[in-house]
């Protein structure tokens, strides 16, 4: 029986994979939190991988505090870069399949068309730079690694933009939301299914793939969609990014082109609003 190790098991994506795992009883699942798989300690991480002996690694663990990363550059690099290199090296040495999750923040946001996997990367914040370093390190050590870049992840688990906006729509009379950052959200349950579609496929075609839900929207439009589904009466106003300064810069445009993952693996990519409706059913 093949062992699937899920790192970051208590996060949004890891939690969705745990829900999905009941549909895949042919695998022995190991859901590891940061104590069982220490991404912040690469030397210990190697020992832990040897102990677990995974056949497949789904690396959902990451340092994702985008603004905090600006002041915790070293920690972000250890988790998002150095630990990924350790996993990639382990995967190569032990003939293990590794799917590593990356981000749209590897781009600078200057594009005006959907970004494919060959688009030039140029991170504009520490988080994005650490994730890009992880991609490069993994592929340099082990060209057989499969990387999935995703964006604007949300779930019925954990803390995320959708949950925060649901709460604020209830609490406030007016709400200002950035309207000049464009991309597409990703329902973590959909991404989890896409990962399992790849794992279940007879063919293993490594490299970088993009995955987010279909649709091209701003954060402001995303909140309007949440409001439409929940029926909250708060007045939502679009504001420029300059009116909501953050420690880390965000790419203004990071819409991902999903054609490759659809063509190579036959992955279905739902429209963002349909997935949002599914998620909000769990959040009521």
DSSP one-letter code for 121: P
Residues annotated as catalytic (active site), given as ranges: 127
Segment 23-60, tens digit of pLDDT: 999 999 999 998 999 999 999 999 999 999 999 999 99
- Token digits for 11? 């996060």
Q: Determine the pLDDT at residue 282.
A: 65
Distances (CA, A) of 73 to 86, 230, 268: 19, 38, 36
Q: Is beta strand 182-183 parallel, antiparallel or unpaired with respect to 235-239?
A: unpaired
Q: Is the pLDDT of residue 182 over 90?
A: yes
Segment 106-142, tens digit of pLDDT: 999 999 999 999 999 999 999 999 999 999 999 999 9
Q: Determine the pLDDT at residue 1.
A: 84
Q: Is the pLDDT of residue 13 over 70?
A: yes
Please provide the average confidence, as pLDDT, over all residues in the chain.
Answer: 97
Yes or no: say if 37 and 46 are a contact pair by the CB < 8 Å rule. Answer: no
Contacts of 105 (CB under 8 A, 6+ apart): 66, 123, 125, 127, 128, 131, 250, 251, 254
Q: How confident is the model at residue 100 (pLDDT cuts 50, 70, 90)?
A: very high
> What is the spatial distance between Cα 52 and Cα 184, in angstroms, rounded to a whole number?
35
> What is the spatial distance between Cα 76 and Cα 63, in angstroms, rounded to a whole number?
6
Q: How many CB atoms lie within 10 A of CB 33?
A: 15
Yes or no: say if 59 and 99 are a contact pair by the CB < 8 Å rule. Answer: yes
Yes or no: say if 249 and 124 are a contact pair by the CB < 8 Å rule. Answer: yes
How large is the average pLDDT for residues 70-74? 98
CATH topology assigned to domain 2-160+186-213+254-270: Rossmann fold (3.40.50)
For 170, half-sphere exposure in the C-beta direction (CA atoms, 13 angstrom radius) is 7
DSSP one-letter code for 214: B
């Amino acid at each position: 029986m093949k062992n699937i190790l899920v790192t970051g098991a208590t996060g949004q994506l890891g939690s969705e994979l745990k829900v999905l795992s009941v549909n895949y009883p042919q695998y022995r699942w190991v859901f590891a939190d940061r104590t069982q798989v220490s991404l912040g300690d690469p030397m210990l991480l190697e020992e832990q991988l040897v102990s677990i002996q995974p056949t497949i690694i789904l690396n959902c663990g990451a340092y994702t505090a985008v603004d905090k990363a600006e002041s915790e550059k070293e920690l972000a690099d250890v988790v998002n870069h150095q630990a990924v290199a350790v996993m990639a090296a382990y995967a190569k040495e032990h003939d293990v399949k590794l799917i590593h999750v990356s981000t749209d923040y590897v781009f600078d946001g200057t594009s005006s068309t959907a970004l494919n996997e060959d688009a030039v990367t140029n991170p504009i914040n520490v988080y994005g730079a650490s994730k890009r370093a992880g991609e490069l390190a993994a592929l340099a050590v082990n060209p057989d690694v499969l990387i999935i870049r995703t964006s604007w992840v949300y779930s019925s688990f954990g803390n995320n933009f959708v949950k925060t906006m649901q709460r604020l729509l209830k609490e406030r009379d007016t709400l200002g939301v950035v309207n000049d950052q464009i991309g597409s959200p990703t329902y973590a349950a959909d991404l989890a299914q896409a990962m399992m579609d790849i794992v279940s496929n007879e063919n293993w075609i490594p490299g970088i793939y993009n995955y987010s839900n279909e649709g091209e929207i701003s954060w402001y439009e995303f909140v309007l969609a949440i409001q439409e589904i929940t029926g909250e009466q708060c007045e939502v106003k679009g504001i420029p990014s300059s009116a909501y300064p953050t420690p880390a810069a965000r790419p203004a445009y990071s819409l991902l082109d999903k054609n490759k993952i659809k063509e190579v693996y036959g992955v279905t990519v739902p429209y963002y609003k349909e997935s949002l409706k599914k998620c909000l059913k769990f959040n009521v």
